[in-house]
Amino acid sequence: MKNPNTADYLLSHGIKPSVHRVAVMNFLLNNRIHPTVDTIYAALAPSIRTLSKTTVYNSLKLFVEKEAIQVIEIDDKGARYDACCDKHGHFKCLACGGVFDVFKMPYLNQDELGLSDFKITDCQIYYKGYCPDCVKKEMHFNSNN
């Protein structure tokens, strides 16, 4: 599925929409799975022969700098990327590795956090556990024992 507005989205963030950048951004917009560099490269490389992993990495770095996407560091296996820049938390499944969005977050302001004198530059809230599919599999597995 192609998103016809991807080039415009990049331009609106001051990013020149090269073929490779549009492909990477398209992937992020159409696959809300918080992919790593490796996931994006593996998905796009077969259809875009001129694409290198460095190009994917550099495109993502530029998108983050221009605030077109955000980087999620929930995983020790590498940064994940998210086309949704709205404030939200994440849930990582320890079984399948899936990272899910958590939009109903009770964010406190800086005074409420007791951090009035601090300068906050980023806020990431992470939950870890098991997603519904993996909870179901686990229950199924247990009932067979």
Which residues bind to Zn ion, rule: CB under 5 A?
A: 82, 93, 95-96, 98, 101, 131, 134
CA–CA–CA angle 99, 125, 129 (5° rounding): 45
Which is closer to Zn ion, CB of 51 or CB of 82? 82
Answer yes or no: are the C-beta atoms of 21 and 68 closer than 8 Å.
Answer: no
Smallest gap from residue 138 Cβ to Zn ion (A): 9
Of 51 and 93, CB closest to Zn ion:
93
Give the residue with the Cβ less far from Zn ion, 95 or 139. Answer: 95
* Cβ 114 to Zn ion shortest distance, Å: 26
Our CB check for Zn ion shows the closer of 95 and 115 to be: 95
How many angstroms separate the CA atoms of 28 and 37, rounded? 11
Q: Is the Cβ of residue 22 or residue 99 nearer to Zn ion in the bound state?
A: 99
User: Could you give phi then psi for residue 21, rounded to 5 degrees?
Assistant: -65, -40
Name beta bridge partners: 110: none
Considering only CA atoms, which of 56, 26, 58 is closest in space to residue 39?
56
Among candidate residues 35, 103, 44, 112, the one with its CA nearest the CA of residue 69: 35
Cβ contact 20:48 at 8 Å:
yes
Query: What is the nearest approach in angstroms of Zn ion to the Cβ of residue 96?
Result: 3
Q: How far is the CB of 72 from Zn ion (least distance, A)?
A: 6
Q: Least distance to Zn ion from the beta carbon of 13, Å?
A: 18
